[in-house]
Amino acid sequence: MRDIYRVNLFRSRGFERRKCPKCGRLFWTLDPERTTCGDTPCDEYTFIGNPPTKRRYSLAEMERTFLKFFERHGHKIIKRYPVVSRWRDDIFLTIASIANFQPWVTSGLVPPPANPLVVSQPSIRLKDIDNVGRSGRHLTLFFMGGHHAFNSRRQKIYWTDETVEFCHQFLTDELGIKPEEISYVQDIWEGGGNAGEDFEVIVRGLEVATLVFMHYAGEGGNYRPLPLKIVDTGYGMERLTWLSQGSPSSYEAIFAPMIEHLSSLAGVKMPPTELLQENSRLAGLIDIEGGRELKQLRAKVAERMKMSVEEVDSLLSPLESIYAVADHLRCLAFMFGDGITPSNVREGYLSRLVLRRTLDLIRGLNIQQPLSELMAFCLETLYGQFPELKERSSYILEVVELEEQRYRDAIARGSRLVERIAAELRARGEPLPPEKLTEFYDSHGLRPEVVKEVASKFGVRVDIPEDFDIRVAKSHSKSRHVPEQVVPVPAERLRGLPPTKLLYYQDQYLREFSARVLRVIDNYVVLDRTAFYPEGGGQPSDIGVLEARGVKVEVQNVVKSGDLILHQLQAGGLRPGERVVGRIDWERRRALMAHHTGTHIILGAARRVLGPHVWQQGAQKGAERSRLDISHHKRIETRDLQEIERLANEVVVQNRAVRVQWMNRNEAEQKYGFDLYQGGVVPGKLVRVVDIEGWNTQACAGTHFQRTGEVGLIKIIRTERIQDGIERLEFSVGEAALRHVQELESQLSSVAGILKVPPEKVTSAAQKLFEDWKAAQKEVERLSQRVAELMLAELRSRAKPLGRLRVIAEEVAGASSTELLKIGSALISADGSLVAILGSGNDLARIVVMAGAEAVKAGVDAGAIAAEAARVVGGGGGGRPELGQGGGPKVDLLADALGRAKETCEKQLNL
């Protein structure tokens, strides 16, 4: 078997394979003096202050140079994919260039958009977010330059030899790096369910590329061959830029204007260049995972620079925060620019995590400018290279501004909860449990730094894990859970059956058809062909009848199992092999088609009114009402809702064509973009595309009208915010919408009759009625206050001496527990030596005991008094020394209970 690592370049140029004595890995080199692999931590960075390239490159220049090089060598440049992976249901964010082609292309199901191809793909990985700013190299968003070739049995593009040759030629001929400076380290790569041998390409200690030869599926060493052999390369555009500049860290190479701006706002002076260089060199040798490694780094830097650890930390910590803010702002610009809406779930949760971490870093730097202003500055640095961000800048800035205000509100609300819990922990002498930090963030939006700040005022210790954000991001980066439809018939009972012919796709208006029964399984029947639509895509299944031999059997439900359609029957009677006639409930199907088509129309209107960030988060179609859930960063205002409804009905009146066609996945994506997957990811090489002419295009399996005019009236009934970042639109169409409007008109007429005015004057009449009610309410409150004053005076006159204190033990007829509490509070606030024992009895005996400050000092325990009194009425009670409550079902014993309460109070005072 051929050694996959022994490529032509190494044989022809005289590379030698050696084993690194430090890490044990094999590597290839032209340097006769090299004994180690060249990678960190086996070797230190030697390019800082001494770049190996023929000139300096900016990030934009490096990206352009990379793409043009591979274009000259036969690769087609393709546009970047969004950073939110709309075409996949197993990850939320695009993590690498190969993620663009998983799983459809890598599985061999769908051809690639070009072969070979090259792309510079913005990729987001949050697994190292806590290390951003510290290491000199970690980023949340980075550009992965990938040249890819997809080799099949029928078509060989290129494999290992050409891949390494391309890389070597790019680094040496294009960038001017000396060949002996490059090490190729052998390894195995896994990711996204695929695997293969790889080379890590090292220059002066920095890994600048990974060349993966992907030809396995599986993970953990359990591999099986893929149908394709895939060249999967990843060149770090930021790392190559850093290499070319030799700057102290990658952050200066990428974010220089942003760093200068933030430093000025924070009043942070740049530390000496020698300190920054040493910090990055040593950071490359230490894999920073938490506080322990960071302390080691600080100590080593201090030793080399002959400074104290405290001095090093004071110089580097503020700058590390500035680095992180610069990185996070760019990441957020692409997140929001590509349509993510902050929320508490999925990619929205991850965007909010990055944003709130940014706000905490800014707060720590004491930067007073709002985040939106910092984002505006960041966007200005990106517009030249990414004009699409300028088109979406208003949405980006609005979201940032709203989210900053929401975080301030969350801090104000959540701090009170932290104070209460901190007070309880202080009383017990306990620190805050670490799991509480995650709970505070997930449930209340509080960053751990805020929790620590509040808790410290109560003397409660809070230990924040150094990798807190990494843990949180990891726990919320799992694949979307898409529940599979439960198939009621075991697969083994369906074996041997040919695929069902789907007549509802051939003719969506077909009401009646003939078919042959292939198999009967309990109360399910499989036909050779059917016009019954199975449940799926938020559309309920058809119902109707199957008729054979003059016997009609109702079809109650229809489900899909693979390529088969199962019809659930109300009763048996059908036999395999016989011919049947099927009739669907056309009125119901027509209503469902109207609502399904209406869903597409409303979504198109919502995206035009609210913005292209709107994304369908769910939908359920019904015969009378349907709902559409969309992502949006704030509540939909009435005028926007009215405009959505107006546009939707305008599309109906325009009677636009609704075209349905099966398309190659690549062709569909190239023509319509990833908006295709608004309704969710669809599997397969071919996708069924529903295109409302010039309005909305989606991959959709449902049934639709051929023209929008058939939908009829569209009426949005109501909206609600079902969770943070997701708005629900409930609507009706066609006859159902008309019935809803008529019902509203009927209700309006009824209200007009009650108010004795014409319908058109209901608003003014209701307003007058409301104003009259408010005036009457004020008068009631005034009179109630006067009655309360008289009642309090009467109660005070009945107070009896109790040693040095006074006691009131009275029944207040008809009072609720809340009213008893108000009366008691008013009594003791005026007299701290008073004990108020109040009761009322309607359906239940209620008892409230309150003691003034002097009474509590004298030994009165209101909670104990209430508990004792409640026993008399057959119930229970308790409370604190200043306040006790109780009650029970024996209303007739209320007077006895009040007497027992007074006796208990006397015993407490030893009277």
Is the domain of 227 the same as that of 348?
no
Is the domain of 29 the same as that of 129?
yes
Residue type, 287: D
Which of 552, 584, 616 terminates a domain? The answer is 584
Is the domain of 79 the same as that of 129?
yes
- Taking each helix axis as running N to C, give the angle between helix 237-245 and helix 250-266, from 0 to 180 degrees, rounded to the nearest 10: 80
Q: What are the binding residues for Zn(2+)?
A: 596, 600, 700, 704
Task: Name the least confident of 219-223, 397-401, 880-884.
Answer: 219-223
Query: How far is Cα 229 from Cα 783, in angstroms, rounded to an integer?
Result: 87
Average pLDDT over residues 152-175: 95
CATH of the domain at 558: 2.40.30.130
Token couple for 129 = 């977010």
Judged against a pLDDT cut of 50, whether residue 885 lies above it is answered with yes
Query: How far is Cα 114 from Cα 495, in angstroms, rounded to an integer?
Result: 38
Q: What are the binding residues?
A: 596, 600, 700, 704
Is the domain of 547 the same as that of 611?
no
Instruction: List CB contacts of 809: < 8 A, sequence separation 6 or more.
Output: 800, 837, 898, 899, 901, 902
Query: Structural domain of residue 577, as residue ranges?
Result: 493-584
Residue-wise burial string across 750-782, b where 16 or more C-beta atoms lie within 10 A, e elsewhere: eebeebebeeeebeebeeeeeeeeeeeeeeeee
Residue 910 CB neighbour total at 10 angstroms: 7
Cβ atoms of residues 252 and 271 within 8 Å: no
β-strands 76-77, 117-124: how paired? parallel
Instruction: List CB contacts of 424: < 8 A, sequence separation 6 or more.
Output: none
Tens of pLDDT, residues 394-441: 999 999 999 999 888 888 877 777 777 877 777 777 788 877 777 777
pLDDT of residue 292: 65
Task: Name the least confident of 212-226, 869-883, 895-909.
Answer: 212-226
Is the domain of 571 the same as that of 716?
no
Residue 321 CB neighbour total at 10 angstroms: 23
Query: How far is Cα 408 from Cα 640, in angstroms, rounded to an integer?
Result: 27
Strands laid side by side in the 714-723 sheet: 616-620, 626-631, 726-733, 714-723
Is the domain of 227 the same as that of 279?
no
Integer CA distances (angstroms), 708 to 293, 621, 626, 742, in order:
63, 17, 17, 23
Token couple for 155 = 């078509």
Tens of pLDDT, residues 652-707: 999 999 999 999 888 888 888 888 888 887 878 889 999 999 999 999 989 999 99
Task: Tell me the HSE value of 496 on the side-chain side, using a 13 A CA sphere.
Answer: 4
Is the domain of 238 the same as that of 169?
yes
Residue-wise burial string across 459-492, b where 16 or more C-beta atoms lie within 10 A, e elsewhere: ebebeebbbbbbebbeebbeeeeeeeeeeebeee
pTM of the model: 0.79
Is the domain of 893 the same as that of 824?
yes
pLDDT of residue 105: 86
Integer CA distances (angstroms), 798 to 360, 805, 809, 815, 821, in order:
59, 14, 9, 18, 18
CATH of the domain at 812: 3.10.310.40
Please report whether residue 719 resides in a domain. yes
Is the domain of 661 the same as that of 726?
yes
Peptide bond into 801 cis (omega under 30): no
What secondary structure, in 3-state letters, does 64-76 show?
HHHHHHHHHCCCE
Query: How far is Cα 592 from Cα 586, in angstroms, rounded to an integer?
Result: 10
Token couple for 817 = 């527990």
Grouping H, G, I as helix, E, B as strand and the rest as coil, residue 389 is helix
Between 25 and 796, name the one with better pLDDT: 25
pLDDT of residue 181: 96
The string of DSSP letters for 640-688 reads HHHHHHHHHHHHHHHT-BEEEEEEEHHHHHHHHGGGGGGG----SSEEE
Question: Strand (E) positions, 192-243?
Answer: 194-203, 206-219, 222-236
pLDDT of residue 1: 38
Tens of pLDDT, residues 587-632: 999 999 999 999 999 999 999 999 998 988 888 888 888 999 999 9
Please report whether residue 750 resides in a domain. no
pLDDT class of 486 with cuts at 50, 70, 90: low
Cβ atoms of residues 288 and 133 within 8 Å: no
Please report whether residue 35 resides in a domain. yes
Average pLDDT, the chain: 89
Q: Which helix (H) or strand (E) holds 604?
A: helix 586-610
Cβ atoms of residues 561 and 486 within 8 Å: no
Please report whether residue 575 resides in a domain. yes
Average pLDDT over residues 287-295: 65
Is the domain of 214 the same as that of 350?
no
Task: Name the least confident of 20-24, 479-483, 528-532.
Answer: 479-483
Please report whether residue 761 resides in a domain. no
β-strands 876-880, 141-151: how paired? unpaired
CATH of the domain at 119: 3.30.930.10
Query: How far is Cα 634 from Cα 611, in angstroms, rounded to an integer?
Result: 12
pLDDT class of 476 with cuts at 50, 70, 90: low
Tens of pLDDT, residues 76-109: 999 999 999 888 878 889 999 998 888 888 888 8
Instruction: List CB contacts of 554: < 8 A, sequence separation 6 or more.
Output: 543, 544, 545, 569, 570, 571
Residue 146, beta-bridge partner list? 119
What secondary structure, in 3-state letters, does 404-455 show?
HHHHHHHHHHHHHHHHHHHHHHHHHCCCCCHHHHHHHHHHHCCCHHHHHHHH
Cβ atoms of residues 185 and 37 within 8 Å: yes
What is the dihedral sign for C-alpha 320, 321, 322, 328?
Answer: positive
Q: Which helix (H) or strand (E) holds 27?
A: strand 26-29
Token couple for 469 = 């954000």
Please report whether residue 643 resides in a domain. yes
Q: Which helix (H) or strand (E) holds 516?
A: strand 512-521
Residue 786 CB neighbour total at 10 angstroms: 10
Residue 267 CB neighbour total at 10 angstroms: 10
Judged against a pLDDT cut of 70, whether residue 741 lies above it is answered with yes
Residue type, 50: N
Is the domain of 241 the same as that of 278?
no
Q: Which residue do the tokens 């499989």 mark?
A: 526
Q: Which residue do the tokens 């793909």 mark?
A: 121
Please report whether residue 591 resides in a domain. no
Judged against a pLDDT cut of 60, whether residue 171 lies above it is answered with yes
Distance, C-alpha 407 to centroid of its chain: 16
Judged against a pLDDT cut of 90, whether residue 290 lies above it is answered with no
Is the domain of 64 the same as that of 208?
yes
In the chain, what is the straight-line distance between the N-terminal and C-terminal CA atoms, in Å?
A: 102
Judged against a pLDDT cut of 50, whether residue 482 lies above it is answered with no
pLDDT of residue 449: 78
Cβ atoms of residues 196 and 232 within 8 Å: yes
Of the chain, the percentage scoring pLDDT greater than 70 comes to 97
Which of 402, 417, 432 terminates a domain? The answer is 417
Average pLDDT over residues 193-215: 93
Strands laid side by side in the 206-219 sheet: 16-19, 26-29, 182-191, 194-203, 206-219, 222-236, 141-151, 117-124, 76-77
Cβ atoms of residues 875 and 887 within 8 Å: yes
Query: How far is Cα 237 from Cα 58, in angstroms, rounded to an integer?
Result: 10
Query: How far is Cα 455 from Cα 434, in angstroms, rounded to an integer?
Result: 13
Domain count, the chain: 5
Please report whether residue 695 resides in a domain. yes
